[in-house]
Structure 1
Amino acid sequence: MTKQRSEIEEKYQWDLTTIFPTDEAWEGELAALQADVEKTTGFAGHLLDSAKSLLEISETQLELMRRMETLYVYASMKNDQDTREGKYQEFQAKALGLYSTLSQAFAFYEPEFLEATEEQLAAFMEEEPALQQYSHQFEKLLAGKKHVLSQEVEEVLAATSEVFDAPSETFSVLDNASIRFPEITDEDGNLVPLSHGSYISFMESSNRVVRQEAYEGLYSTYEQFQHTYAKTLQSNVKVNNLKARLRKYDSARHAALSANFIPESVYDTLVEAVNKHLPLLHRYINLRKKLLGIDDLKMYDMYTPLSDVDYKFTYEDALAKATDTLTIFGDEYSAQVKEAFENRWIDVHENEGKRSGAYSGGAYDTNAFMLLNWQDTLDNLYTLIHETGHSLHSMFTRKNQPYVYGHYSIFLAEIASTTNENILTEKLLSEVEDDKTRFAILNHYLDGFRGTVFRQTQFAEFEQAIYKADQEGQVLTAEFLNNLYSEINEKYYGLSAEENPQIQFEWARIPHFYYDFYVYQYATGFAAASALSHKIVHGSQEDKERYLDYLKAGSSDYPLNVIKKAGVDMTKEDYLNDAFKVFEDRLTELEALVEKGVHL
């Protein structure tokens, strides 16, 4: 039975008193910040009055945002540890409300700043040397000058954000709160409810009848509501295409990637490289077919484990393994890992009402906390080392950059976490002594690669196609979306769409299609991490130091420049080809183990 929050030992709970000692202290800061935001009303219209004015207003905005982040992080994490508590739901709502007020208070900033000429800014920076540290930030703002609208229009767009968010919000309510899946019969013959959470475990069942019933039960529900889901997705696509058009971007993808200064060629190169290597995926699927002893492999056979090795780690064992694995980065990194693991940065165990899943979070002035829902599995060891990668990236950035550059691009976010995962794989493979455990580790890696590089690129290809179709006047009906998705799915998996009819509805259940060209970054991040981890494990001390410099860079340079300095040029296909080489080598090794009969 799941424990109540009060039943979890303190040492397994994160220590949020390091942010605010009490809830009353948080409420005091909320009131103080509200009062300070109200004092900024006289700033509008005066940003470029003088160098001193530009410095004062810029620093005031950054300082208020810095405090706002800390305020929000405390509220959201308190809420996440038990989502049933009304008090922290209210805290989070108040923080979001204040964030909206703060954003509106500085809505003037960008339009006014973009009235400046390069000559005027140069003169200001010479007159007020303290402005020099903001030069890269100013450069980024100027780069988007032609896409920023008048202050009046910007205010209108800000005011309509809730309306523009409606398709995504509607999807979320429909998918998480409204639809109900049928009951199915589990491995023990019991009738049990099907849900988003239980679906994954049913897909991993060794009983094919259970897998099929869960699969068909889930997608029969999406089939029933396919036209509603098509409308929410179509509306979301139209919103993003409209905003891109208003801001004079070529497309919604152009707008989304421009936010991180990523050329669209990076996206296209990913899709092209993955398509070129689809025979590797087909080879792995054929091996899965052989191992499962199934002549008519279906999409619901994709997730059942190929290994029966019960590779378990207690939480304490996982901490020790992660600590040992990460010593490869040197003393500075290891000292930070020790601090995170020993000083209650991690909320470890599941409790009633706790947010599901895992994440790394925090603000510039807080620890980089981690939320887990620990189970003694190999997967959870990988989750721990993954989130530690995020947290260490955050801490290295915050300790080495001023607040203005104290965050890193979403494009780079998954690289540090997945590099840790890849290094763990190398570590486990170097230590394993028996073939069955080696088989389990290789299988875990290959499934992770398939689910990240191949699957997320499949999503990226579908996403680009629906946005392009809308731009060209195609109505995104359920029929159109079903046909497109099943066609792409057949290409990726080599499994007939006709024999896997339910998979045509999968697009309806993917929340990432409401994240505006986000998914491709999972694939590029995993591939870049594969290249970096190989350099770290097999390369020189300089390779490790360059990697640590990447962790420390934050947003002080453009994302592609930051990662290029670490040794990966993501404008070229090489890093993707390197990643596929690792996949192929490990697939070959798994095939060799199968030939030895290890899986039997």
Structure 2
Amino acid sequence: MTKGNDGIRWDLSAIYTGMDDHKVSEDRRFVQEEARGIRERFRGRIGEIFPSEMAVLLQKLERINETYGRLGAFAFLLFAADTSDEKISGFLQSMQELGSNLSSDLSFFDIEWSSLDDQQAQVHLDDPKLASYHHFLRKSRKYRDYVLSEPEERIVARYSIVAGSSFTKLFNKVMGKLTFGAEQLGQEQVLSRLHDASREVRQQAQQDYTEGLKDNIHILTHIYNTVITEKMISDELRNYPHWVHSMNLSNDLSDDAVENLVGSVVSRYDIPQRYYRLKGEILGVDRLYDYDRYAPLRKVNKHYSWEYAQAAVLDSLDAISPQMAGIAREFFDKHWIDSVCHPRKRSGAFAHPVTTDTHPVILTNYTGNFRDMETLAHELGHGIHQYLARKQGYFGSNTPLVLAETASVFAEMVLFEREYAKLCDPQEQLAALCAKIESILATVFRQISMNRFEHAFHTTRRKEGELSSERISALWMETQQAMFGDSVELTQNYSLWWSYIPHFINAPGYVYSYAFGELLVLALYNQYRQASDKDAFIDRYLEVLSLGGTCTPADALAKLDVNIDNPEFWSSGLAAIEELVNEAELLYKKQQFR
């Protein structure tokens, strides 16, 4: 655990003190023995047991899952902090093998529970002794048409460690070892230069990054093809109707709701196109290229120290909710954050809930720009959400992905508004507003364009067979150019930039969740601004966050008077983005007449 000018390293001792902690072997032995005992006692009997015995079974299953969750989380976090350490990699592999064995031993429960007829199942769903598990049980039954036989599920579970998950780990290892350009920069360091005020620096960063990807494109293409093919086979075996259906089920969303979201965003691609034309005009360039998209409007690159970022995020949260700020402060004070950027570390950022009897942790790669400060706020939003949901127990705390993005984006918005209010100079205001618009465009329109790429990739693979890097790049460019239109010229280098995005292989179909969360927050934040009693609104908002995964997103958001099944809901969020673009255009015109 360390602290420096560029942030802090996390302290994971509340989980385990190290790979050789005796509690690791104790917990490993416990989950193995408990799983065998449950299998011997309950296999073949789910249709016979009374609710009282079902309660005992679910408590045992929850304890096994939470204990294994602690083991798996610890291994994953160690690996994320150092993807090149072979001892850590071996430890992670051993935990994945343990998880595979547990899934195999316990697969009988989901199969037998989902196969019960509705009348049998309703006995348990109506029993008050099982109230805390009702949503968990209902959601499990949604998969009843897609489960395999028990022998088949056991084989799938055992083989999972050498299938997609192993290639995901390989991807993280490859990306973690890459360095770029003459300075041998890490991924986060070189990508941060795309936000540099100098066009020459941005163009060189794009070239350096592309060269690094190009040198490894044969490996990355193989990884992507393997993971996509495994999903194709799994979807076919389980009879999922299309590639993203399993993700929609996981998110507790109907296919129609997701299609409405995607279609609504695609229909407003004119918004990012209009903005990027404005940005080209502000920058005074004849042509805006892909490496210009994040060019700051400030002439000098502004650096935000870690201490400033910490204070800014905490102050912004404290202004709306001392409770949220108090939780966030624990992350800093107790070192539940790892923010120091170094080459061996996993790129990007995430918040991990770990288990309900420990605490969430956050990983970021802090380089000192405003975007990094927003990322810190974003991940703390996730962390606060995970912290609040702990009271629902391990099964109940797992929030659907689309709702999980709500707290994170809300925290970003709060930070931006507070920092924006500090500005008096019109040029600074325009620069900050444009940076925020670009962040929103990346979260809504870019993520949906990536969803369109995923759709093209999955469906084309299923029609044409394994795809070459050139074919994948063509699909990438087609779906990205559709969003940008003629407002941004995508260079040939950009054609390889699909290959570094981990979401496509870590969680196929996930990316639309970002757009869902952003548009939802724009609506919620507008409610917050207009609320006569802001404290009461925040209380209701925190109540929704604390629900975790105990109800569907639609039911949770109804408590905030939001109807996600109404197509107009998405239109209102998109209109809010358009208003921000209108404001930027007005600010720019005012400066022209000065």
**TM-score above 0.5:** yes
Contact preservation (8 Å) 1:245, 1:251: no
Query: Does residue 390 of structure 2 align to residue 398 of structure 1?
Result: yes
Question: 2:116 matched to 1:116?
Answer: yes
Secondary structure of the 1:363 match is coil
Asked if residue 589 in structure 1 is aligned to residue 583 in structure 2, the reply is yes
TM-score by length of 2: 0.87
Aligned length: 585
The offset of 1:352, in angstroms, is: 8.0
Cross-structure match for 1:140? 139
TM-superposed CA distance for 1:249, in Å, is: 1.8
Query: For the Cα contact (< 8 Å) 1:309–1:440, is it kept in 2?
Result: no
Partner Cα distance (1:148, 1:247) in 2: 6
1:49-78, Cα deviation, whole Å (9 max, x unpaired): 421443332221111111222233344435
User: Contact 1:311–1:377 (CA<8 Å) still a contact in 2?
Assistant: yes
After superposition, where does 1:296-311 map in structure 2 within 5 Å?
A: 296-308=287-299, 310-311=301-302
**Alpha-carbon separation, structure 2, partners of 1:272 and 1:232:** 30
1:450 to 441, 450, 458: 441
C-alpha offsets along residues 318-361 of structure 1, whole Å, 9 cap, x if unaligned?
A: 33332332235444434433444434433454578555543322
Structure-1 residue corresponding to 2:486: 495
Out of 2, 13, 17, the position equivalent to 1:17 is 13
Q: Post-superposition shift, 1:394?
A: 0.8
Alignment match of 1:572 (pick from 566, 570, 585): 566
Name which one, 1 or 2, has greater alpha-carbon Rg.
Answer: 1
CA distance in 1, matches of 2:175, 2:402: 27
Residue aligning to 1:486:
477
Aligned equivalent of 1:554, options 540, 548, 557: 548
TM-score, normalising length from structure 1? 0.86
Q: Distance in 2 between matches of 1:558 and 1:373?
A: 33
Match of 1:165 in 2: 164
State how 1:192-231 maps to structure 2 within 5 Å: 192-193=183-184, 196-216=187-207, 218-219=209-210, 230=221
Give the deviation of 1:261 after TM superposition: 2.3
- Alignment of 1:419 with 2:410, yes or no, is yes
Gaps of 5+ in 2: none
Q: Which runs of 5+ in 1 are unaligned?
A: 184-190
- 1:363-402 equivalences under 5 Å are 363-399=355-391, 401-402=392-393
Q: Deviations over 1:345-390 (max 9, x none)?
A: 3345457855554332232111222234444432332222212211
CA distance 1:278–1:398, shift in 2 (3 Å): same
Query: In structure 2, what is the Cα distance between the partners aligned to 1:414 and 1:499?
Result: 29
Residue 496 of structure 2 corresponds to: 505
CA distance in 2, matches of 1:340, 1:222: 34
Alpha carbons 2:177, 2:344 under 8 Å: kept: no
Pick from 490, 512, 530 the counterpart of residue 538 of structure 1. 530
Report what 2:49 is aligned to: 50
Tell me: CA distance 1:381–1:248, structure 2 relative to 1, closer, same or farther (3 Å). same
Kindly report the root-mean-square deviation, in angstroms, between the aligned alpha carbons of the 2 structures. Answer: 3.4
Q: What CA deviation, in whole Å up to 9, does each residue of 1:158-197 have, x standing for no partner?
A: 233245417944971795278786x4xxxxxxx4446633
CA distance in structure 2 between the aligned counterparts of 1:352 and 1:504, rounded to whole angstroms: 24
Report if the CA contact (8 A) 1:47-1:57 is conserved.
no
CA deviation vs aligned residue, 1:283-308 (integer Å, no higher than 9, x gap): 21112212222213322222222223
**Identity over aligned pairs, percent:** 25
State the 1:96 CA deviation.
3.0
State whether residues 170 and 232 of structure 1, in contact with CA within 8 Å, keep that contact through their aligned partners in structure 2. Answer: no
> Does structure 2 conserve the Cα–Cα contact (< 8 Å) formed by 1:71 and 1:95?
yes
Which region of structure 1 is more displaced relative to structure 2, 248-257 or 226-235? 226-235
SS of residue in 2 equivalent to 1:114: helix
Per-residue CA shift, 1:117-167, capped at 9, x if unaligned? 2323344577x7523432222222222211112111212222332454179
Residues 454/586 of structure 1: CA separation in 2 closer, same or farther (3 Å cut): same
Q: 8 Å contact 2:450–2:511 — kept in the other structure?
A: yes
Cα 1:77–1:199 shift into 2, 3 Å: closer
Q: Distance in 1 between matches of 2:503 and 2:433?
A: 28
Q: Are the counterparts in 1 of residues 187 and 347 from structure 2 also a CA contact under 8 Å?
A: no
Please report how far the alpha carbon of residue 105 of structure 1 lies from its aligned counterpart in structure 2 after TM superposition.
Answer: 1.8
Question: Matches of 1:579 and 1:357 in 2, distance apart?
Answer: 26
Q: Which letter maps to 1:104?
A: S
**1:59 aligns to what?**
59
Mean CA deviation greater in 544-553 or 372-381: 372-381
CA contact (8 A) 1:415 1:525 kept: yes
Q: Conserved in 2, the CA contact under 8 Å of 1:423 and 1:537?
A: no
Amino acid at match of 1:511: P
Aligned mates of 1:17, 1:170 — CA distance in 2: 24
Name 1:437's counterpart in structure 2: 428
More divergent stretch after superposition (299-308 vs 465-474): 465-474
Q: How far, CA to CA, are the matches of 1:502 and 1:82 in structure 2? A: 29
